[in-house]
Amino acid sequence: MEEADDLILGEFPRQMDERYRVSIPQEWVQPLVEADGFCTLAKERPGCLSLWNTRRSQNELDAGMDLVRGKIRAGKLEGRIDELQLLGRLLSTRQRRVKIAGRGRLLIPDGFREFLGVEQGDAVLIVGAAVCAEIWRPDAWVSYLEKRIPRFRKLFDSLTG
C-alpha cells in the first residue's frame, strides 16, 4: 500500500448484521489484509474505527516507540510518568488484529463495538481515509464532516502544492 495508486477512497453505506459483522468493500480487502487474512482494527475517535494494513501500522508504531524508548533512556521524559502511563494504557487497548473473512466480512469485537456505538442492524459508513479504511457511526461522520469540510480546499492545496 505504499503506491499512490493504492489510496483507499470512497464512501459506502453498510449495515451491522446480527453477529456484529460489517462488509468491507471488496476492492479494499487486498490492500488492507496480510497474506494470513488479518489486518489491524484501531479505535480512532468516538464513533470511528480504522482498519490498517498490519505491516504498515506496526512499522509506524515501532518507529514511534523506538523514539519514546530513546527519550526514556536519555532522561528526556523525567517527570512525565503520568503521560507515559496514559500512552501505555491507550496502546494496550487501542488496537487489535482482526481477520477479514469471506465476502469481506469483518466481525467488530466487543469493546470496539461499544467505542463505535452501534448495535445489531444499525447503519454504518465505510469511508476511505487514503492510507486506511474507517468505519463510522453516521451521526459521528456528519459531525466530523461539518467541522472539516470548510477547510478542504486549504488542505488539498497544501498537500498538492
Question: In the CATH scheme, what architecture does the domain 4-160 have?
Answer: 3-Layer(aba) Sandwich (3.40)
Note the pTM of the prediction, 2 decimals.
0.85
Residue type, 126: I
Rounded to whole angstroms, the Cα distance separating 59 from 153 reads 31
Q: What is the pLDDT of residues 32-78, one digit of tens each?
A: 999 899 999 999 999 999 999 999 888 888 888 899 999 999 999 99
How crowded is residue 151: how many other Cβ atoms within 10 Å of its Cβ? 10
Average pLDDT value for residue range 94-103: 93
Residue type, 1: M
Q: What is the pLDDT of residues 107-121, one digit of tens each?
A: 999 999 999 999 999
Domain residue spans of the chain: 4-160
Query: Contact 39/53 with Cβ under 8 angstroms?
Result: yes
Better-predicted residue by pLDDT, 2 or 81: 81
